[in-house]
Amino acid sequence: MKESTDYIIENIRRTLDNDLPGTDEFVDMIISAPRIFIYGVGRSGLIAKAFAIRLVQMGLEVYFVGETITPIVEEGHLVVIVSHTGDTMSCVQTANIVRRVGARVASITSNDNSKLAAASNLVIRIKPKMDEERKRLAPLGTLFEDATLVYLDSIVAQMMEKLGRSEGSMRKRHAIWV
């Protein structure tokens, strides 16, 4: 376990060592959008949902695409799509559909030459190093997914500052079990 943990943490550190291009624009897109829609499938979708929860806790109007209570995307809305390959068909289709209605698309992907990237207004590229050790210590998309979770959690502080939020104000929107 320790070998894998060290490998994953070191790769996340290297992947996110510098500010990723487009981050300031991404944050501004989020905080200025009247509604934010989040989408992803598989483990990328789970990472996207974790981010959606934080945005809700900041008081933003957020929905996950595909849920039964999600309203329609309209002009001026923001759709954030997380896809490791950038070629997941439902992600590409979602981006193309919402762009046609005038929504903006921000994608997080490892492939800035993908179909998803081509359909996006903004691409945040998270591209961990791919080596032979990855197959043994962090299989499949683990490095992308973990680095994306850390990246999205790290920009929460920037959004909190711009929106004047505190942990206390977010806690008021935190799930409470009765």
User: Which of the residues are catalytic?
Assistant: 145
Structure tokens at 167: 């942990």
Cβ count within 10 A of residue 38: 26
Based on the number of CB atoms within 10 Å of its own CB, is 163 exposed (0-12), middle (13-18) or buried (19 or more)?
Answer: middle
- Order across the sheet with 122-125: list the strands: 62-64, 36-39, 78-82, 104-109, 122-125
First-to-last alpha carbon distance for the chain, in angstroms, is 36
Distance, CA of 71 to CA of 84 (rounded, Å): 26
Structure tokens at 13: 């550190």
Containing 50, the helix (H) or strand (E) segment is helix 42-57
